[in-house]
């Protein structure tokens, strides 16, 4: 399977995740407005993948800009950043990636705007390549906490489709499987968009990793019966104190895990950590359309006109988490200290490479 998204012939290619697993299709984008809409429509989803899409969206904005001087190009990029950042407000990787492009361009002194355009494409590609490396590092660290023969409970999709490649939560699962630990995965279906049933199940079956699909409401029973050894899920934003925003339903799993004495970890690349937010109540929570709840595919399952509340994410207070797995190691409480150290270590690593 190719990467979730990639740059080809000055265009952005992305797997259309809305129609998986029944249909596999790759869509092509040549301007940042269309990329922003694709992010909103969830052609691409998952915080790391959204971040990479935002970076490539900035590259498209630079390529399509008519600017003939540096200041005009920067003005067009600033406008593009605003459009892209608004596409999905909860996933901080999006604004992190667009800000990184802006900071990078701001520090460049190049003879002409065409050189700047080429440099932006190269930086976007670096962001995408770094994501794969980050995921593999997280997988290696996370596999350390997975027991031999463990039953792992996951939520939503935090696999290769949620990233550029390899995955966050499923990166840990893949690493543990590659180590011969003979793991089995309970896959939450993840209503309302069924990313677990559609995407996680598809990925695990493709990799021939043992898994069983369950209704979301079966998770508690499995925990009480001792059939879950560890709960793993991803994150769209992590506050400085370790509160984690992830797909709606994640908070419930963490509470159930703590009640049943089961370790619960969030698997998080450092660009997802937002040290500027003191706690999770400050994380903006995206609300999505009623049709995601009242419809399954093209079939209506609720009465016409029914009131609907559809938050896309919830926040898990840090006290319910055993740890947070990053590419710089596993962070444990006090998270204010361990998360900052992880972010600083990741930035130092990137500076050494560049």
- Can you tell me whether residue 194 is helix, strand or coil? coil
State how beta strands 11-15 and 211-214 pair.
unpaired
DSSP symbols for 119-188: HHHHHHHHHHHHHHHHHHHHHHHHHTTSPTT-EEEE-S--SGGGSSSS-SHHHHHHHHHHTT---EEEEE
Six token digits for residue 75: 């003005």
Six token digits for residue 284: 């903006």
Angstrom distance (rounded) from CA 220 to CA 249: 12
Pair 73, 84: CB distance under 8 Å: no
Task: Give the C-alpha distances (Å, rounded to integers) separating 136 from 44, 173, 341.
Answer: 21, 11, 20
Task: Give the C-alpha distances (Å, rounded to integers) separating 102 from 48, 116, 117.
Answer: 18, 11, 12
Give the active site residues.
236
DSSP symbols for 279-305: SGGGS---B--THHHHEETTEE-S-TT
Angstrom distance (rounded) from CA 290 to CA 292: 5
Of 46, 40, 50, which is closest to residue 12 (Cα–Cα)?
50
Angstrom distance (rounded) from CA 323 to CA 152: 15
Edge to edge, the sheet with strand 230-233 lists 211-214, 184-188, 151-154, 230-233, 264-267, 323-326, 329-331
311: DSSP letter: B
């Amino acid at each position: 399977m190719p990467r979730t998204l990639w740059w080809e012939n000055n265009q952005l290619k992305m797997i259309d995740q809305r129609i998986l697993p029944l249909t596999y299709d790759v869509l092509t984008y040549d301007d940042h407005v269309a990329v922003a809409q694709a992010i909103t429509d969830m052609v691409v989803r998952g915080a790391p993948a959204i971040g990479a899409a935002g970076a490539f969206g900035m590259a498209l904005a630079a390529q399509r800009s008519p600017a003939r001087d540096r200041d005009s190009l920067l003005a067009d990029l600033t406008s593009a950043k605003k459009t892209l950042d608004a596409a999905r407000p909860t996933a901080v990787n999006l604004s992190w990636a667009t800000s990184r492009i802006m900071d990078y361009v701001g520090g460049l002194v190049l003879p002409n705007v065409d050189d700047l355009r080429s440099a932006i494409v190269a930086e976007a590609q670096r962001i995408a390549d770094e994501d794969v490396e980050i995921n593999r590092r997280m997988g290696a660290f996370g596999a350390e906490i997975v027991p031999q023969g463990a039953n792992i409970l996951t939520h939503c999709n935090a696999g290769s489709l949620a990233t550029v490649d390899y995955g966050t939560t499923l990166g840990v699962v893949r690493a543990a499987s590659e180590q011969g630990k003979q793991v089995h995965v309970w896959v939450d279906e993840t209503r309302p968009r069924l990313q677990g049933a559609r995407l996680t199940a598809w990925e695990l079956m493709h990799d021939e990793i043992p898994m069983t699909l369950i209704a979301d409401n079966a998770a508690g029973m499995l925990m009480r019966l001792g059939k879950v050894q560890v709960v793993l899920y991803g994150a769209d934003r992590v506050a400085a104190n370790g509160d984690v925003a992830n797909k709606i339903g994640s908070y419930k799993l963490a509470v159930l895990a703590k009640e049943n004495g089961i370790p619960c970890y969030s698997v998080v690349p450092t660009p997802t950590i937002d040290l500027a937010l003191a706690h999770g109540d400050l994380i903006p929570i995206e609300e999505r359309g009623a049709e995601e709840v009242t419809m399954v595919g093209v079939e209506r399952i609720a009465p016409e006109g029914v009131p609907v509340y559809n938050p896309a994410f919830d926040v898990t207070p840090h006290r319910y988490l055993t740890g947070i797995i990053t590419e710089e190691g596993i962070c444990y409480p006090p998270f204010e200290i361990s998360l900052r150290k992880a972010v600083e270590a990741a930035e130092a690593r990137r500076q050494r490479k560049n």
